[in-house]
A = this chain, B = another copy of it.
Amino acid sequence: MTLKIALAQVNLIVGDIKANSLKIVQTALHARDQLAADLVVFPELTVTGYPPEDLLLRPDFIAQAAQAVTDIARQVAGIDVVLGFPGNYQGRLFNTAAVLRDGAILARYQKNALPNYGVFDEKRYFTADNQSCLFTLKDTKIAITICEDVWQAGILANNKQAGAEIVLTLNASPFHAGKIHQRESVVVDQARALELPLVYVNLVGGQDELIFDGASFVVNHYGDIVFRAEEFKEQISVVEFEKSASSNQSMPLSNTCAPLYNEVSSDYQALALGIKDYVSKNGFQGAILGLSGGIDSALVLALAVDALGHDKVEAVLMPSRYTQDMSIEDAKLEAEALGVRYHVIPIEPAVTAFTGMLAEVFAGTAKDTTEENIQARCRGVILMAMSNKQGRLLLTTGNKSEMSVGYATLYGDMAGGFAPIKDVPKLLVYQLAHYRNSLSAVIPERVITRPPSAELAPDQIDEDSLPPYDILDPILERYVELDQSADEIIAAGFKREDVTRAISLVDRNEYKRRQSPPCIRITPRAFGRDRRYPITSGYRGI
């Protein structure tokens, strides 16, 4: 006897219970009718999308989700549906999965292991349960788990002991570079150790700063991955299980694994998906950005075009007296190479106006970063005006290295609704530019090779103020992502003066990051919900 399990790797909209319900029903009917599946498995918290955050505190929202599950059950017959929702049970809220069969809820599982670290806040909302849940389909005992559960050895072992022959796991496992290997190896190790096949269904899509990368997979009881869905795309697939008469062991028959992107190209895909979903799910007409002739804006332009199409993206060149001719030339080349409409709006009239307006109050003071910030803020006003008028999302183009050390102007180049590369360190910006050019040449070589500059003062280059990026980036990774102390970083071979400079800038610039737009998280620790530092803080890493 064979059992066909469909993996529904879908892209949902947080909070849009109606749209998600429709997608669930359509997908289930497709799995039943087109794929002849006996069972379809959806990602974690399917009905609400993940993470719904404080919507989970609204009684009306929880009631709507419960109603949706009832409605879905009524609309789908002839296939078992396993989906997730926030479920009230005896006055407490659980991260719940339900098996729907014949118009009703056949079984409920409530997540045992609640993550409450990094980007996760599940203990803010949910109670942890400690019960397993098994149901039988076509003579096969199937267990249900949810995401974090499979990262803890005991829970799968309990299922095995209870007689599970196949374990389903519903996930909303967020992407960062290399995460997929970590995820697959954890599951593979457990499948092998327990001799238990697993069906791992992951969410796909962008949700504010999180990317869910899909790559759902099936592992057999030897620990072989025998099926893998594509990364970063919706995909509904079916995997057939056959039960051996002799061993009573359920075996997945598939042997179709989508290849994996390498690290740089997966980052690129993640960033493009993040832009696409932020724009579409928030109802923008497209995107605009300021194009400086530097590498950061060149990369964001390419990402935006790859995500949205060239006709949905508009670029604005805003030269000042400090802008070199080659910056303008290169920016134009970038826009032209990608077929993007661009405008040239010199900022001099506004800068002159502000300088005049402030002449009296600034009389007798020396020039400092104030004057640089005014230029950046004039650009911010222009871009926001165009964004407001056209309903296009303004993308900011700052990278993680800059955001770490505060090398950016609040309300200036930081102005915008979404910051696609805020979690991309500068060295990775270069790698991503090379990768994109390897597909088709869209970023002029000179943009990649010339020394980075903010062009806010005469002959300014980044290295005047900051250590070179090949020194700075590893220091930042150790300090920000790995929580290393200055002494540890110095012991690892970095110069004390570079470490001191970098760390003191990170410490002092929390206030800027707090007001920056959300990014797309591609590292194990992004600025945002992942790293929650006080602004008012006497802590000094150095």
Contact = CB atoms under 8 A, between A and B. Distances in A.
Interface string A45-62: 000010111110111110
A320 to B, nearest CB: 12
Interface string A459-481: 00000000000000000000000
A378 interface: yes
Contacts of A538: 13-20, 49, 281
B349 A353 contact: yes
Contacts of A369: 388
B121 A532 contact: yes
Interface string A482-503: 0101011000000000000000
Contacts of A281: 536, 538
Contacts of A14: 534, 536-539
A199 B118 CA distance: 36
A245 interface: no
Contacts of A183: none
Most buried by B among A61, A516, A532, A539: A539
Contact of A353 (B208, B352, B373): B352
B343 A361 contact: yes
Contacts of A535: 208, 282, 518
Interface stretch (A33-41, A132-140, A142-150, A379-387): A379-387
Contacts of A52: 534, 539
Nearest to A535: B208
A54 B385 contact: no
A167 to B, nearest CB: 27
Contact of A15 (B13, B373, B385, B537): B537
Contacts of A487: 60
A450 interface: no
A13 B536 contact: yes
Most buried by B among A14, A349, A385, A417: A385
Most buried by B among A18, A349, A368: A349
A515 interface: yes
Nearest to A388: B370
Contacts of A448: none
Contacts of A541: 60
Nearest to A365: B389
A534 B378 CA distance: 30
A186 to B, nearest CB: 21
Nearest to A282: B536
B417 A411 contact: no
Contacts of A531: 54
A536 to B, nearest CB: 5
Nearest to A314: B361
Nearest to A537: B15
B373 A386 contact: no
B374 A385 contact: yes
B354 A385 contact: yes
Contacts of A385: 354, 358, 362, 370, 373-374
Contacts of A483: 57-60
A217 interface: no
A354 B358 contact: no
Contacts of A532: 53-54, 121
Per CB-CB distance, the 3 closest pairs between chain A and chain B, nearest first, are A16-B538, A15-B539, A60-B485
25 contacts: A13-B537, A14-B534, A14-B536, A14-B538, A15-B538, A18-B538, A49-B538, A53-B534, A54-B533, A55-B534, A59-B483, A59-B485, A61-B539, A208-B534, A281-B536, A282-B535, A282-B536, A343-B361, A350-B353, A357-B382, A358-B386, A368-B389, A411-B415, A417-B511, A515-B517
Given A60-B541, A368-B389, A514-B517, 12 more contacts: A13-B536, A60-B488, A116-B116, A282-B511, A350-B357, A352-B353, A354-B381, A368-B388, A370-B389, A384-B410, A411-B415, A518-B535
